[in-house]
Structure 1
Amino acid sequence: MKRITRVWAERISVVAALLLFWGVALWRLGAPSLWYDELFNVNLTLGHDFPGMLAVLRTQQPYPPLYYLFLKAWAALVGARPYAPGLEPGSGLEFLLRFPSVLAGVGSLALLLPLGRRLRISGAAFLPWLLALHPMFLWYTRDARLYAMWVLFTLAALYALASQRRWLWWGAATAALLTHYFALFPLAGAAAIALLTGNLCPPSQSSARPRWLMNIITLGAPFLFLLVWMLIALRVTLGFQSFGAGSPPDGATFVGLAGPDLLTARVFLEPLGHVLNSWWGYGLLGMALLGLILRAWKAPSRGGICLGAAALGAAATFISWQLRPVQHVRYLVWLLPLLALGLAGLVSTLFGRRRAAARWTLAVLSLPVLLWGARQSLDFMTAERTVWYPDFRDTVRLLNERALPGDGGIAVAAHGAEIFTAYRSPVAFIPGPTIGERLQPEAAARLADMPRDGAGRIWTLLYQDEAVDPGQVLIGTLEAVGGYRVEMGYSRELRLYAYAFPEVVSIPPLAPQHPLESTFEGGIALRGWSLHREERLLAVYLFWELLEPQPEAWMGAVHLAPNAASAPTVQRDKLVLSDYWTLSELPVGEILPDRYEMVIPPDLPAGSYQLFALLYSPESGQRLPLATGVDRLYLGDFAWQ
Structure 2
Amino acid sequence: MGANRGAGGGGIPIVGHGVAQMKRSGWTALDLTLLGLAFGLRVYRLGAASLWYDEAFSVDLARHQIWQPVDAHPPLFYLTLRLWMALAGPSEFAVRFLSVMAGMLTVALFAATAMRIGRSLMARTVALGVAATLPFWVWESREARMYAALGFWAALGLYGMACDSPRLTLFAALAGSYTHYAMLWMVPGILFLGLRRGPSRIPWAVVLLAGAIPGALHALWVGRTQGAFWPGTLDLGRILMVLYQAQGLQARMAGFIPPAGFPWIPGLIAGAGVAGIGLIAGLRRRAARSLFLAFGLLPLAVGLGLLYRSPKFHPHYFMGASIGFWLPTAIGWADGFRRARSAFLPALIAWGVFVLPALSWTLGRAEQVKDDWRSAVRMVEARKGPEEAVVLVSGFALPAYRVYARTTTPIPLPADPVADVRHVLDYETVIPVLNRTLTGTQGAWLMQWGDEINDPAQVVAAALDWIGDEIEAFAFTGGIRVRHFVWREFRPLPEEPEALFDHTGQPIGPNLIWLGYGLPGGTLPTDRPLPVIAGWQTMGPLPAGVRVSLRLEREDGTLWGQWDGALGGETWDTARWPWPRIVLARYTVEAQVGTPPGRYRPRLVVYRGDQVWLAAQLNPVDLVSPQRPYRDPRWEEPPRARWPGLSLTHVDLEGEPRACQPLTLALWWRVDGHPASNQVSLRIGEVRITEPWNPAQPDRAWGPGERWRTRHRLLMPCAPGRYALEVALGEGEDPSRGWQSVITVEVRP
Q: Aligning the two structures, in what range does the TM-score lie when normalised by the shorter sequence? A: 0.7 to 0.9
Q: Distance in 2 between matches of 1:248 and 1:336?
A: 23
Query: Compared with structure 1, are the counterparts of its residues 285 and 256 closer, same or farther at alpha carbon in structure 2 (3 Å cutoff)?
Result: farther
User: For each residue in 1:191-234, what CA deviation from the matched residue of structure 2 results, as whole angstroms up to 9, or x when unmatched?
Assistant: 32332x31xx4xxxxxxxxx1xx423313533433321332563
Establish whether residue 16 from structure 1 lines up as the match of residue 41 from structure 2.
no
Task: Identify the residue that residue 119 of structure 1 maps to in structure 2.
Answer: 117
Task: Identify the residue that residue 73 of structure 2 maps to in structure 1.
Answer: 63
Q: Distance in 2 between matches of 1:289 and 1:304?
A: 13
Q: Distance in 1 between matches of 2:356 and 2:193?
A: 36
Q: Distance in 2 between matches of 1:21 and 1:106?
A: 7
Q: Which amino acid aligns with 1:240?
A: T
Task: Identify the residue that residue 47 of structure 2 maps to in structure 1.
Answer: 30
Task: Identify the residue that residue 271 of structure 1 maps to in structure 2.
Answer: 259
SS in 2 for 1:543: strand
- State whether residues 573 and 596 of structure 1, in contact with CA within 8 Å, keep that contact through their aligned partners in structure 2: no
Establish whether residue 293 from structure 1 lines up as the match of residue 293 from structure 2.
no
Trace 1:115-264 onto structure 2 (pairs within 5 A). Answer: 115-120=113-118, 122=120, 123-126=122-125, 127-195=127-195, 197-198=196-197, 201=198, 211=199, 214-232=200-218, 234=220, 236-241=221-226, 245=230, 247-263=232-248
- State whether residues 260 and 280 of structure 1, in contact with CA within 8 Å, keep that contact through their aligned partners in structure 2: no
SS in 2 for 1:632: strand
- State whether residues 407 and 427 of structure 1, in contact with CA within 8 Å, keep that contact through their aligned partners in structure 2: no
Task: Identify the residue that residue 423 of structure 1 maps to in structure 2.
Answer: 404
Deviating more after overlay: 578-587 vs 4-13: 4-13
SS in 1 for 2:410: strand
Task: Identify the residue that residue 584 of structure 1 maps to in structure 2.
Answer: 575
| TM-score between the two structures when normalised by the length of structure 1 | 0.84
Return the offset for 1:612: 2.9
Q: In the alignment, which of 101, 104, 107 is matched to residue 105 of structure 2?
A: 107
- State whether residues 412 and 464 of structure 1, in contact with CA within 8 Å, keep that contact through their aligned partners in structure 2: yes
Task: Identify the residue that residue 88 of structure 1 maps to in structure 2.
Answer: none
- State whether residues 552 and 591 of structure 2, in contact with CA within 8 Å, keep that contact through their aligned partners in structure 1: no
Q: Distance in 2 between matches of 1:397 and 1:242?
A: 34
Query: Compared with structure 1, are the counterparts of its residues 481 and 254 closer, same or farther at alpha carbon in structure 2 (3 Å cutoff)?
Result: closer
Return the offset for 1:528: 1.6
Q: Distance in 1 between matches of 2:250 and 2:543?
A: 39
- State whether residues 413 and 432 of structure 1, in contact with CA within 8 Å, keep that contact through their aligned partners in structure 2: yes
Matched positions, count: 589
Task: Identify the residue that residue 283 of structure 1 maps to in structure 2.
Answer: 273
Query: Compared with structure 1, are the counterparts of its residues 292 and 529 closer, same or farther at alpha carbon in structure 2 (3 Å cutoff)?
Result: farther
Establish whether residue 75 from structure 1 lines up as the match of residue 77 from structure 2.
no
Task: Identify the residue that residue 548 of structure 2 maps to in structure 1.
Answer: 556
User: For each residue in 1:83-113, what CA deviation from the matched residue of structure 2 results, as whole angstroms up to 9, or x when unmatched?
Assistant: xxxxxxxxxx101101111111111111122
Deviating more after overlay: 242-251 vs 590-599: 242-251
Q: Distance in 2 between matches of 1:420 and 1:251?
A: 35
Q: Which amino acid aligns with 1:469?
A: D
Q: Which amino acid aligns with 2:328?
A: G
- State whether residues 506 and 513 of structure 2, in contact with CA within 8 Å, keep that contact through their aligned partners in structure 1: yes
User: For each residue in 1:361-394, what CA deviation from the matched residue of structure 2 results, as whole angstroms up to 9, or x when unmatched?
Assistant: 5688457636864554233212251x32331111
Trace 1:41-52 onto structure 2 (pairs within 5 A). Answer: 41-46=58-63, 48=64, 52=65
* Runs (5+) with no aligned partner, structure 2: 1-16, 625-749
Task: Identify the residue that residue 728 of structure 2 maps to in structure 1.
Answer: none
Q: In the alignment, which of 542, 545, 554 is matched to residue 534 of structure 2?
A: 542
Q: Distance in 2 between matches of 1:183 and 1:403?
A: 45
Q: Distance in 2 between matches of 1:615 and 1:189?
A: 55
Return the offset for 1:40: 0.5
RMSD over aligned CA atoms reads: 2.9
Return the offset for 1:20: 1.7
Task: Identify the residue that residue 454 of structure 2 maps to in structure 1.
Answer: 468
Which fold has the larger relative contact order, with Cα–Cα distance below 8 Å and residues 6 or more apart in sequence?
Answer: 1
- State whether residues 614 and 624 of structure 1, in contact with CA within 8 Å, keep that contact through their aligned partners in structure 2: no
Q: Which amino acid aligns with 2:570?
A: D
Q: Distance in 2 between matches of 1:117 and 1:537?
A: 61
User: For each residue in 1:464-501, what CA deviation from the matched residue of structure 2 results, as whole angstroms up to 9, or x when unmatched?
Assistant: 11211111111211221234335645444111223221
Establish whether residue 632 from structure 1 lines up as the match of residue 645 from structure 2.
no
Trace 1:201-600 onto structure 2 (pairs within 5 A). Answer: 201=198, 211=199, 214-232=200-218, 234=220, 236-241=221-226, 245=230, 247-263=232-248, 265=250, 267=253, 270-271=258-259, 273-277=262-266, 278-284=268-274, 286-296=276-286, 299=287, 303-348=289-334, 356-357=338-339, 365-366=347-348, 369=351, 373-374=355-356, 376-383=358-365, 385=367, 387-433=368-414, 434=416, 435-436=419-420, 437-452=423-438, 454-485=440-471, 488-509=474-495, 512-515=500-503, 517-532=505-520, 534-535=524-525, 536-562=528-554, 566=557, 568-600=559-591
Task: Identify the residue that residue 206 of structure 1 maps to in structure 2.
Answer: none
Query: Compared with structure 1, are the counterparts of its residues 561 and 594 closer, same or farther at alpha carbon in structure 2 (3 Å cutoff)?
Result: same
Q: Distance in 1 between matches of 2:107 and 2:381?
A: 42
Q: Distance in 2 between matches of 1:469 and 1:44?
A: 25
- State whether residues 608 and 640 of structure 1, in contact with CA within 8 Å, keep that contact through their aligned partners in structure 2: yes
- State whether residues 109 and 128 of structure 1, in contact with CA within 8 Å, keep that contact through their aligned partners in structure 2: yes
* Runs (5+) with no aligned partner, structure 1: 82-92, 202-210
- State whether residues 398 and 489 of structure 1, in contact with CA within 8 Å, keep that contact through their aligned partners in structure 2: no
User: For each residue in 1:428-461, what CA deviation from the matched residue of structure 2 results, as whole angstroms up to 9, or x when unmatched?
Assistant: 2122103332222233223323445734432211
Q: Distance in 2 between matches of 1:43 and 1:281?
A: 38
SS in 2 for 1:438: coil
Q: Distance in 2 between matches of 1:489 and 1:379?
A: 22
Query: Compared with structure 1, are the counterparts of its residues 359 and 102 closer, same or farther at alpha carbon in structure 2 (3 Å cutoff)?
Result: farther
Establish whether residue 613 from structure 1 lines up as the match of residue 601 from structure 2.
no
Structure (1 or 2) with the greater helix fraction: 1
Q: Distance in 2 between matches of 1:107 and 1:156?
A: 9
Query: Compared with structure 1, are the counterparts of its residues 513 and 172 closer, same or farther at alpha carbon in structure 2 (3 Å cutoff)?
Result: same
Q: Distance in 2 between matches of 1:430 and 1:222?
A: 45
Return the offset for 1:318: 2.1
Query: Compared with structure 1, are the counterparts of its residues 238 and 419 closer, same or farther at alpha carbon in structure 2 (3 Å cutoff)?
Result: closer
Q: Which amino acid aligns with 1:219?
A: A
- State whether residues 11 and 125 of structure 1, in contact with CA within 8 Å, keep that contact through their aligned partners in structure 2: no
Q: Which amino acid aligns with 2:445?
A: W
Q: Distance in 2 between matches of 1:394 and 1:578?
A: 27
Q: Distance in 2 between matches of 1:312 and 1:187?
A: 10
Q: Distance in 2 between matches of 1:63 and 1:371?
A: 36
- State whether residues 39 and 418 of structure 1, in contact with CA within 8 Å, keep that contact through their aligned partners in structure 2: yes
- State whether residues 190 and 306 of structure 1, in contact with CA within 8 Å, keep that contact through their aligned partners in structure 2: no
- State whether residues 547 and 606 of structure 2, in contact with CA within 8 Å, keep that contact through their aligned partners in structure 1: yes
Query: Compared with structure 1, are the counterparts of its residues 100 and 254 closer, same or farther at alpha carbon in structure 2 (3 Å cutoff)?
Result: same
Deviating more after overlay: 276-285 vs 547-556: 276-285
Return the offset for 1:586: 1.6
Q: Distance in 2 between matches of 1:624 and 1:16?
A: 67
Q: Which amino acid aligns with 1:545?
A: Q
Q: Distance in 1 between matches of 2:425 and 2:139?
A: 36
| TM-score between the two structures when normalised by the length of structure 2 | 0.72
Return the offset for 1:557: 1.6
Return the offset for 1:580: 2.9
Q: Which amino acid aligns with 1:553?
A: G
Q: Distance in 2 between matches of 1:598 and 1:578?
A: 14
User: For each residue in 1:153-192, what CA deviation from the matched residue of structure 2 results, as whole angstroms up to 9, or x when unmatched?
Assistant: 1011011122111221121111111111112223422432
Deviating more after overlay: 165-174 vs 129-138: 129-138
| Identity between Structure 1 and Structure 2 (%) | 22
Deviating more after overlay: 152-161 vs 122-131: 122-131
